[in-house]
Amino acid sequence: MSATPAAAKEDATGWTLVIHGGAGIIERDRVTPEQEVAVRTGMNAALDAGTAVLKQGGSAMDAVEAAIRVLEDDPNFNAGRGAVYTWDGRNELDASIMDGRTRDAGAVAGVGVVRHPISLARAVMEHSPHVMLSGKGAEEFAREQKLEIVPPGWFGTERRREQLDRLRGNDKLSWFDIDLKYGTVGAVARDAQGHVAAATSTGGLTGKRWDRIGDSPIIGAGTYADDRACAVSATGAGEYFIREGVAHEICARVRFTGETLKQAADAVMAEVKDLGGTGGVILTGPTGEMAWSFNTPGMYRAKVSADTPRIVEMYEEE
């Protein structure tokens, strides 16, 4: 991550940070007290990591990467350690990151040995001529960049293995409802210089086959950032988010129609629902506006800014 700007250290004001840890059937009677504590603890730890960057005048890019790295190490979310299993019993990880200042972006898909896919996505953006790398090539690039490599088994957990076993053993379950929620993680931020950034990381769908790739690593679908509009990270049924171009669509509405972030997000998420898709988005903008929108019974979500206390929520009614 880049060095903290010295000038910004003196007056790190106006920053914002919003994160998510997935959306879906997240209801009080489906979540144990232990699970709730673990999720809220993880969300707070991610906010701590991103906030530490922003309070020191660091960049939005550094903040979203820092927050995502914490969530990638937390087995309570479907990203990095704790990622879901493919049909063949592997963990295939996707991630993307985008800088609203320059609209530079990087993404990776189908990687299995890189501890922090979000850092690999950033390396693709900063140290390659490309936007997206996948599979073995992305892993080779990670080794060249000296990113941390771990054994494939490092990502797996017993809970995720049980989810795969349930899917395999019940032909009435669909690809999208095995866990009734999408644990993709995301972060968006505005820094003291007024620039925005977005980042998203996921393990995809339980039981996914044929090297399936969802919206999370696709710039404009699961991730988008533009200083002229906003920064967006999405979670949900990825095929629908790809078809709607959710993240870019929201930014375009903000930029060209003058809608607030909340208005634009609600409108696009309603269109996703009309297509048959479920999920949610988090947003922040260059003015410091923060918002989220979801069409599911809950979404793991949290926000904080230089001027407002943190909020950590899980359920629709909060």
Which sequence positions are flagged as catalytic?
184
Answer positive or negative: Cα dihedral of 237, 238, 242, 243: negative
Tell me the C-alpha distance between 59 and 85, whole Å.
34
Q: Residue 108's beta-bridge partner residues?
A: 95, 133
CA distances from 174 to 21, 30, 49, 247, 263 (A): 21, 19, 36, 25, 31
Estimate the crossing angle of helix 261-275 against helix 246-257, to 10 degrees.
140
**Which residues 6+ apart lie within 8 Å of 41 measured at CB?**
none
Of the CA atoms within 13 Å of residue 247, those in its CB half-sphere come to 36
